[in-house]
Amino acid sequence: MKSGEVRRTLAEITGSQWGLVTSRQALARGVSHMQLSRLADTGDLVRLAHGVYRDGGTPSGELDDLRAAWLSTKPTALAYERLAHHRSEVVVSLASAANLLEIGGFRPTIVSFTTAARRQTQKTDIRYRTRKLPDSDIAIAGGLPVTTVERTIADLVETNEDLSTVSDAYRDASLRMTVNRDRLEELLGPLAQRNGFPQGGGAALLHRLEELAGLDIDSVAARVSSAPELAARVLGNLFPDLAAMKPVVTPLRIQGLEQFAPALAALTIPQNLLKDQQEATSKMLQPIREALASNIPSQVRKLEP
């Protein structure tokens, strides 16, 4: 195969998988080891790992090593083929998944994959764990199959990662994306007893993660009560029509007030700090303060139509 044809062949491959190519993919299309070596020597190809190259004209990226490791797990298949038909065979997981999903402060030096069938490797920078994942536990991030946030957090707990470290990942996930709490609670259930909670106590273990992450109701209430401006804004979002209300609570609002009564009762809002608030904000807060003083919800007066 002539030089021009070699370059065109490689370009067809690299163009569909982040500028990367494996030697097995190239060999299957008629490119020899010698030709790959020459292109690497001239800088037209850059070696990323054993048998995996990046096109010299493609800028390097943070995910290059992870993508190269994933390609090396099935080096003959093209990335789009694997994603379309075999995405559950090799899935980025554990700390590698957390890093890919950008949750927590994980900076793994070993790439972790979950595989449907048992695998072994002599590579020191790749680790496999065997588990057949349902499609619902697999997402796509950075063009790679990765365990979902819920599965990633549960897997980290399962592998005895420190709960405070896992809670950082949970906090990031909760703030940046939608977390399926029911699914996470389900996955944490079998792990509860080993972490000091009743058997099957996924809810208790999840609550502990929320406490460590500062996402439980007490932690949130404490932060809100320490910042009067934030308290006013939170109350405004919860009850946007308070400014137009009389200093009583309507029957339709009783349920909402009852739900947030513990957090509202914890609020301490110094009057001197509220003086600078707009008049509308003061009117908005007054009904809540009066309702709390009346021991919500048992002594709430009803607003006449």
Closest to 174 in 3D by CA, of 155, 149, 203: 149
Question: 151 with 187: CB under 8 angstroms?
Answer: yes
Instruction: Give the containing element (helix H, strand E) for 126.
Output: strand 126-130
User: What's the rounded mean pLDDT across residues 123-141?
Assistant: 96
C-alpha span between 228 and 243 (Å, rounded): 17
Q: Confidence class of residue 1 from pLDDT cuts 50, 70 and 90?
A: confident
Quick: pLDDT tens for 150-178: 999 999 999 999 999 999 999 999 999 99
Start-end ranges of CATH 1.10.10 in the chain? Answer: 3-62
* Fold of the CATH domain 3-62: Arc Repressor Mutant, subunit A (1.10.10)
Q: How far apart are the first and last CA of the chain?
A: 87
Our measurement of the distance from residue 109's CA atom to the centroid of its chain's CA atoms, rounded to an integer in Å, reads 19
Q: Is the dihedral of CA 41, 42, 47, 52 positive or negative?
A: negative
**Beta strands 20-22 and 52-55, pairing class:** antiparallel
Closest to 236 in 3D by CA, of 284, 183, 168, 294: 284
Percent of the chain with pLDDT over 90: 66
Structure tokens at 24: 């097995």
Q: Give pLDDT, residue 298.
A: 42
